[in-house]
């Protein structure tokens, strides 16, 4: 029996319904930011489900959560899957959560099919993929992969000044689990299931995206300093208006990033003006820069120009530019890509090869071993939006491809 025959569409859908209540928002989305009480509740619920099936649950020092199904060879490098349970502030019910629940469904289907595997199979709920509360994003997978230092990340603070290490302690007090002392990067293969977060699968009427890679990305913070002054008495000629300068800087950056082919993805997602009083000239503006491109040389050229562009447009204020992340484009392992395509074909599922515009934890796993991803459609490609939607049938189809891939890899 193929494990995919025991994927249970209704069970998988219900688990999404149950998880969507944790941090649920009135318009149907979720706000389940990293290490929030809502995130802790999701970790606790996943651990309860895992314990009920006899799977081993444990965490690592940065708060990644592992659900592991034993193999006949306990110390064989495991096959890994997973994604993230944290969300954007006005996020959707499927971004990240689908990859964790599809991975959990795969473990259950292996159990229900009575399939023993030589290698353990583990689902990882990576900590803080979204990076909206604590920057940078994909933090848990990046620390696991050795790209960011654990101690530095534990000291990161959110906008309320809460230290990540303290938020992690609070989370573990609500959702306790065994913590392994170190990061174990030995694995045989990694496959992450995720909604596409774009319109192509739906437009081309395909059920499965055979993901070939992930475009590169860079993120920056820009802090502009001027001088607070009285709105009624200060002439323009002596003002150091941080908002006025910030508008000029963002405009100059948009021109710098301009791409007639519309391949560059440039976003200023956070923009804070202080003190935010109607009758005080703003003295400080903080904003974020996120841009992406599939070509590493274009990414480097655009990134190397940012400081110069900001300096040339910020007068009479001053600016501080800090690069937060620089993630190279990811090319997935051809054997994993071929396996995802072959299992989709074997299940009679229409599929297409495609790159990922969105970033994923797989970016930080791929440099350490064979990795790949499986996409399923989401309605109109909408994501990072409460309207994000997917169908029970598509979610189950992705889980069927996933479990057949994992079963084959776990017996290699
Ligand atoms: O930003 C990203 O690409 C991911 O969805 N967090
Ligand atoms: Mn995601
Ligand atoms: Mn996301």
Does the predicted TM-score (pTM) go above 0.95? Answer: yes
Which ligand does the CA of 130 lie closest to?
1
User: Is residue 190 helix, strand or coil?
Assistant: strand
Model confidence pLDDT, tens digit, residues 296-330:
999 999 999 999 999 999 999 999 999 999 999 99
Q: Is the CB of 241 under 6 A from ligand 1?
A: no
Q: Which atom of ligand 1 is nearest to the CA of 358?
A: 3
Mean pLDDT of 63-88: 98
Query: Which of 136, 144, 331, 134 shows the shortest CA–CA distance to 218?
Result: 136
User: Is residue 87 helix, strand or coil?
Assistant: coil
User: CA 209, CA 195: separation in Å to the nearest integer?
Assistant: 9
Model confidence pLDDT, tens digit, residues 57-71:
999 999 999 999 999
Q: Is the CB of 130 under 6 A from ligand 1?
A: yes
Degrees, nearest 5: CA angle 194-97-192: 35
Nearest CA to ligand 1 atom 1: 359
Query: Which of 411, 388, 408, 39 shows the shortest CA–CA distance to 195?
Result: 388
Nearest CA to ligand 1 atom 6: 130
Q: Which residues pair with 163 in a beta bridge?
A: 157
Model confidence pLDDT, tens digit, residues 344-399:
999 999 999 999 999 999 999 999 999 999 999 999 999 999 999 999 999 999 99
- Give the pairing of strands 280-281 and 318-327: unpaired
User: CA 355, CA 138: separation in Å to the nearest integer?
Assistant: 18
Structure tokens at 396: 């189950």
Model confidence pLDDT, tens digit, residues 221-236:
999 999 999 999 999 9
Model confidence pLDDT, tens digit, residues 180-214:
999 999 999 999 999 999 999 999 999 999 999 99
Q: Is the CB of 358 under 6 A from ligand 1?
A: yes
User: What's the CA-to-centroid distance between 132 and ligand 3, angstroms?
Assistant: 10
Q: Which residues pair with 216 in a beta bridge?
A: 293
Mean pLDDT of 268-285: 98
User: Is residue 214 helix, strand or coil?
Assistant: strand
Mutate to test the pocket of ligand 1, among 34, 129, 383 (most ligand atoms within 8 A of CB): 129
Mean pLDDT of 49-64: 98
Structure tokens at 321: 């530019």
User: Is residue 90 helix, strand or coil?
Assistant: coil
Mutate to test the pocket of ligand 1, among 99, 134, 327, 359 (most ligand atoms within 8 A of CB): 359
Q: What is the pLDDT of residue 120?
A: 98
Cα 362 to its chain centre, rounded Å, is 9
Query: Which of 356, 336, 332 shows the shortest CA–CA distance to 344?
Result: 336
Query: Which of 95, 78, 83 shows the shortest CA–CA distance to 30?
Result: 95
Task: Report percent pLDDT > 90 for the chain.
Answer: 100
Exposed, middle or buried: residue 322 (CB in 10 Å: 0-12, 13-18, 19+)?
Answer: exposed
Domains, the chain, ordered by start: 3-214+330-410 (3.40.630.10), 216-327 (3.30.70.360)
User: What's the CA-to-centroid distance between 130 and ligand 3, angstroms?
Assistant: 5
User: CA 79, CA 340: separation in Å to the nearest integer?
Assistant: 14
Q: Is the CB of 38 under 6 A from ligand 1?
A: no
Q: What is the pLDDT of residue 247?
A: 98
Q: Is the CB of 214 under 6 A from ligand 1?
A: no
User: What's the CA-to-centroid distance between 100 and ligand 3, angstroms?
Assistant: 13
User: CA 84, CA 100: separation in Å to the nearest integer?
Assistant: 6
All residues with CB under 5 Å from ion ligand 3: 95
Which ligand does the CA of 99 lie closest to?
2
Q: Is the CB of 290 under 6 A from ligand 1?
A: no
Q: What is the pLDDT of residue 1?
A: 84
Mutate to test the pocket of ligand 1, among 94, 130, 355, 375 (most ligand atoms within 8 A of CB): 130
Mean pLDDT of 21-47: 98
Question: For every residue of 264-284, which 3-state class applies, written as one string?
Answer: CEEECCCEEEECCCCCEECCE
pLDDT at 125 over 90: yes
């Amino acid at each position: 029996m193929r494990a995919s025959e025991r994927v249970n569409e209704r069970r998988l859908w219900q688990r999404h319904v149950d998880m969507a209540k944790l941090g649920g928002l009135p318009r149907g989305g979720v706000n389940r930011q990293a290490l929030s009480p809502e995130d802790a509740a999701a970790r606790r619920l996943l651990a309860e489900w895992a314990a009920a099936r006899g799977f081993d649950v444990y965490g690592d020092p940065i708060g990644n959560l592992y659900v592991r199904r034993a193999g006949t060879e306990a110390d064989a490098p495991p096959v890994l899957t997973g994604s993230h349970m944290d969300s954007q502030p006005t996020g959707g019910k499927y971004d990240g959560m689908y990859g964790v629940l599809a991975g959990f469904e795969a473990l259950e289907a292996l159990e229900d099919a009575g399939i023993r595997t030589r290698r353990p199979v583990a689902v990882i709920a990576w900590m803080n993929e979204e990076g909206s509360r604590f920057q940078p994003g994909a933090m848990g997978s990046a620390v696991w992969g050795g790209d960011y230092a654990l101690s530095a990340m534990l000291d990161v603070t959110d906008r309320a000044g809460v230290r990540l290490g303290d938020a992690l302690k609070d989370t573990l007090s609500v959702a306790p689990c065994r913590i392994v002392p170190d990061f174990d990067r030995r694995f045989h293969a990694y496959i992450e299931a995720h909604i596409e977060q774009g319109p192509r699968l739906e437009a081309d009427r395909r059920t499965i995206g055979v993901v070939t890679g992930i475009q590169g990305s860079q993120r920056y913070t820009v802090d502009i300093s001027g001088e607070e002054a009285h709105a009624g008495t200060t002439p323009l000629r002596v003002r150091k208006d941080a908002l006025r300068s910030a508008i000029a800087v963002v405009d100059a950056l948009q021109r710098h990033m301009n791409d007639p082919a519309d391949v560059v993805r440039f976003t200023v997602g956070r923009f804070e003006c202080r003190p935010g009083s109607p009758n005080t000239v703003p003295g400080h503006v903080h904003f974020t820069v996120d841009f992406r491109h599939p070509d590493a040389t274009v990414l480097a050229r655009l990134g190397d120009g940012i400081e110069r562009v900001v300096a040339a447009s910020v007068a009479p204020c001053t600016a501080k530019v800090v690069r937060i992340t620089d993630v190279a484009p990811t090319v997935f392992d051809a054997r994993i890509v071929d396996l995802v395509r072959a299992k989709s074909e074997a299940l009679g599922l229409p599929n297409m090869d495609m790159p990922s515009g969105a970033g994923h934890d797989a970016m930080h796993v791929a440099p350490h071993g064979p990795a790949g991803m499986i996409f399923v459609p989401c309605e109109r490609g909408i994501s990072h939006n409460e309207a994000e939607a997917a169908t029970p049938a598509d979610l189950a189809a992705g889980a069927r491809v996933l479990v057949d891939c994992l079963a084959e890899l776990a017996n290699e």
